[in-house]
């Protein structure tokens, strides 16, 4: 027999709802970015220079926070030795993500503070990021280095990172870690854009065109806003396609994004 919903019963139910208080919102998931100058955040004094980690929030929804810890000049080794990984691990929480992207400065044999050997010390340092973040309940993601603007005599994008991307791929397979092959996807993007077309992505500015670079600049490693945005789009698209982040974490993946979408502190 169904109970009759009397005014007294309804009033009691409404009273319970009122005293229960609001339902607490789930804490935002944080994507922590580790890496070098290609990913790091630049101040407004250096605009339009920008890193892909700085542009990544453009493609993530409000439930996902980006904490860009990438450091200009860092290698997988120096980032650890400077205590930067410890700093991230002191605040990373269960369910967060750690993007790990090093290789540019690991190549520098002349600098023992940064150099790592691809098949040994490079893998050993990367393993610290993977193992220690997993121990905190976070989810590591390995990201091979974004390719530089280098072309062969026939106009094809040329590889510049030696054995490091392959070493990271091997480590990802061995440890069962998601891998974003940014070396491959950026190479494909540079090939589509071509020798001249890539200049709009990299920090190529003629003299007198920007007050922050009055003498002009031709930098084939670092990005201006348009490049940072497109490389961040590659990263975010891979995170979606591999289902690394939950559905609904992404926005604007196929939409034009103006340089003004980036925030320079």
Write down the pLDDT at residue 28: 86
Instruction: Count the helices and strands in the chain (H runs, E runs).
Output: 8, 8
Q: Do the beta carbons of residue 120 and residue 106 sit within 8 Å?
A: no
Span 95-125, pLDDT tens digits: 999 999 999 999 999 999 999 999 999 999 9
More confident residue, 92 or 62: 92
Whether 222 is catalytic:
yes
Mean pLDDT of the chain: 92
> Per-residue pLDDT for 156 more than 70?
yes
> Per-residue pLDDT for 21 more than 70?
no
Q: Do the beta carbons of residue 218 and residue 204 sit within 8 Å?
A: yes
Q: Which of 37, 76, 145, 186 is catalytic?
A: 37
pTM given for the model: 0.90
Whether 218 is catalytic:
yes
Whether 44 is catalytic:
no
Span 238-256, pLDDT tens digits: 999 999 999 899 999 999 9
Span 187-231, pLDDT tens digits: 999 999 999 999 999 999 999 999 999 999 999 999 999 999 999
């Amino acid at each position: 027999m169904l109970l009759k919903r009397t005014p007294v019963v309804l009033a009691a139910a409404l009273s319970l709802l009122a005293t229960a208080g609001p339902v607490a919102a789930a804490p935002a998931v944080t994507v922590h970015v580790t890496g070098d100058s290609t990913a790091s955040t630049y101040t407004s004094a250096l605009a339009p220079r920008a890193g892909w980690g700085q542009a990544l929030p453009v493609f993530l929804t409000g439930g996902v926070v980006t904490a860009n810890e990438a450091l200009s000049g860092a290698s997988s080794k120096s980032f650890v030795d400077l205590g930067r990984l410890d700093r991230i691990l002191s605040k990373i929480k269960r369910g967060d993500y750690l993007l790990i992207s090093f290789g540019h400065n690991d190549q520098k044999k002349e600098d023992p503070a940064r150099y790592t050997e691809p098949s040994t010390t490079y893998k050993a340092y990367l393993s610290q990021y993977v193992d220690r973040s997993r121990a905190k309940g976070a989810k590591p993601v390995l990201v091979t280095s974004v390719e530089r603007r280098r072309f062969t005599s026939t106009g094809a994008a040329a590889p510049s990172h030696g054995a490091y991307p392959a070493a990271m791929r091997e480590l990802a397979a061995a440890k069962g870690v998601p891998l974003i092959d940014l070396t491959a996807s950026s190479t494909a993007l540079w090939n589509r854009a071509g020798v001249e077309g890539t200049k709009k992505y990299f920090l190529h500015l003629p003299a007198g065109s920007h007050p922050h670079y009055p003498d002009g600049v031709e930098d084939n490693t670092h990005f201006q806003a348009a490049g940072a945005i497109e490389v961040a789009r590659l990263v975010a698209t891979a995170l979606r396609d591999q289902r690394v982040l939950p559905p609904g974490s992404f926005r604007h993946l196929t939409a034009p994004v103006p340089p003004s979408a980036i925030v320079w502190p």
